[in-house]
Structure 1
Amino acid sequence: MLDELKNANEYIIDKIVETDSLILEMEAFALEYNVPIVTKEVAKYLEFLVSSHNFKNILEIGTAIGYSGTIMGKIAKKNGGKLTTIEIDETRYNQAFENFKKANLLDSVNLILGDGVEEVKKLNEKFDFIFIDASKGHYMEFFNDSFERLEENGIIFIDNIMFRGYLYKEYPKRFKTIVRRLDEFISYLYQNHDFVLLPFGDGIGLVKK
């Protein structure tokens, strides 16, 4: 079954033809410098979901180089809204700034340098879509703080929630705590929220308020 899912993902990725030069540039950079970004099939699903719901006010926890932020930011800007995105690493923050500049998004992006655990608590606005892709060990905290800031009928998109497949296969002992926390987090979401877990990419969790 796992091999079938892997083969399906590979088939989907082979079918995706990207034409946006900036997106291609960021994908090449991420591959060369081992920067974690969403996989191609997840990127397309993210774009489809955000566009289909016409989300305007978007929060992203974990900017990296601005890859997913550029995808969401373009839609938010088109809809007359904005993207607020938080990055803890200063080098990545600066790289994201340059990519948002290339995408002509600086006027509709609030790029914050800081720890998402602390910065989310400082936000005094509501969001209709929230994308979480940061430190896996803090997913529960990111979720709880951002859920308070989610509009009714809003959606939280949690990427990499199955953490390299380590939740269901053998994993290095150094990841024991992260795996346990993510497993507990998934159980919590199923028991307490309108939640669905999708097994493509590295696992996607969706919560609707």
Structure 2
Amino acid sequence: MSFFEENSPEMDRYLETHASAEPEMLKRLRKETFQKTTQPHMISGYQQGRLLSIISKMLQPKNILEVGTFTGYATLCMAEGLAKDGKITTLDVNEELAYLPKRYFAESEFSSQIDFRIQNALEYLKKTDEIFDLVFIDADKENYVEYFKLIKPHLKSGSVVLFDNVLWYGKVLEENPKQQSTKSIKELNDLVAKDEDFENLILPLRDGVNMLRRR
């Protein structure tokens, strides 16, 4: 099997069987995402969700930013590790789908700590003075470089940033990519690797997660 092919169903079952259990509410959200959205593959899913949960629990962040809410699965996973007085701000531009994450956020034990906004993330980052302990970016790939540049002033030493889909189905290996999204992801990965203010590692989980820690 090629490195960039999806895991086989048998391997996925093995990985999930040998990982911490997915909370029941997230199981329902995942099922409903596949039933009611046209691109359910955009959900973080079981394995990535448990990674986000564990990272958040290790950091116990007071301030989380998520760019790209989709149906709120990753939001709820990261909320599991929030400090008692912490909050997570999650941004998306899809008003039509907003009803779904809103419903699950309201049901969640973290409802009072989740600030869900229909707002352009680039504009938000240009205006906010917030400092974030944990950032998860899973949105328009064409703007990944801009997100990286804008988020950097809002980090402190020890802050962790995760960019999703940074292997882009293996397209990052193309020498002269035609897709702008591929070009942007390649540029992001190059910028991060050369930036001495960060230490990073690309995790080959699903479609690749670039995990950065601010020095």
TM-score, scaled relative to structure 2 = 0.85
Mean CA deviation greater in 124-133 or 105-114: 105-114
- Structure 2 CA distance for partners of 1:70 and 1:169, relative to 1, 3 Å: same
In the TM superposition, what is the alpha-carbon distance from 1:169 to its structure 2 partner? 6.7
- Does the CA contact (< 8 Å) of 1:18 and 1:24 recur in 2? no
1:63 aligns with 2:63: no
AA at the equivalent of 1:109: I
Mean CA deviation greater in 49-58 or 128-137: 49-58
Structure 2: stretches of 5+ with no match in the other structure: none
Alignment of 1:1-209 (within 5 A): 2=3, 6=7, 10=12, 11-16=14-19, 18-32=21-35, 33=37, 34-35=39-40, 36-76=42-82, 78-168=83-173, 176-192=179-195, 193-209=198-214
In the TM superposition, what is the alpha-carbon distance from 1:3 to its structure 2 partner? 7.0
Structure with the larger helix share: 1
- Does the CA contact (< 8 Å) of 1:51 and 1:75 recur in 2? yes
Question: Could you tell me how far apart the structure 2 residues matched to 1:169 and 1:190 are?
Answer: 18
String of CA shifts for 1:52-94, please: whole Å, max 9, x gaps: 1222211111111111101112321x53201011111112323
SS at match of 2:80: helix
String of CA shifts for 1:127-184, please: whole Å, max 9, x gaps: 11111111111111112111211122111011111123322379xx8x6111111112
Question: Could you tell me how far apart the structure 2 residues matched to 1:121 and 1:39 are?
Answer: 30
AA at the equivalent of 1:196: L
String of CA shifts for 1:178-199, please: whole Å, max 9, x gaps: 1111112111111113221111
Question: Could you tell me how far apart the structure 1 residues matched to 2:210 and 2:22 are?
Answer: 28
Identity %: 21
Question: Could you tell me how far apart the structure 2 residues matched to 1:55 and 1:108 are?
Answer: 12
AA at the equivalent of 1:187: D
In the TM superposition, what is the alpha-carbon distance from 1:101 to its structure 2 partner? 0.2
- Structure 2 CA distance for partners of 1:142 and 1:3, relative to 1, 3 Å: closer
In the TM superposition, what is the alpha-carbon distance from 1:24 to its structure 2 partner? 0.7
- Does the CA contact (< 8 Å) of 2:203 and 2:210 recur in 1? yes
- Structure 2 CA distance for partners of 1:177 and 1:143, relative to 1, 3 Å: same
TM-score, scaled relative to structure 1 = 0.87
Question: Could you tell me how far apart the structure 2 residues matched to 1:143 and 1:3 are?
Answer: 25
AA at the equivalent of 1:23: L
String of CA shifts for 1:20-56, please: whole Å, max 9, x gaps: 2210111112222233111321111111111012222
Structure 1: stretches of 5+ with no match in the other structure: none
Give the alignment's Cα RMSD to 1 decimal. 2.4
- Does the CA contact (< 8 Å) of 2:86 and 2:113 recur in 1? yes
Question: Could you tell me how far apart the structure 1 residues matched to 2:11 and 2:137 are?
Answer: 21
Question: Could you tell me how far apart the structure 2 residues matched to 1:108 and 1:98 are?
Answer: 14
SS at match of 1:13: helix
Equivalenced residue count is 205
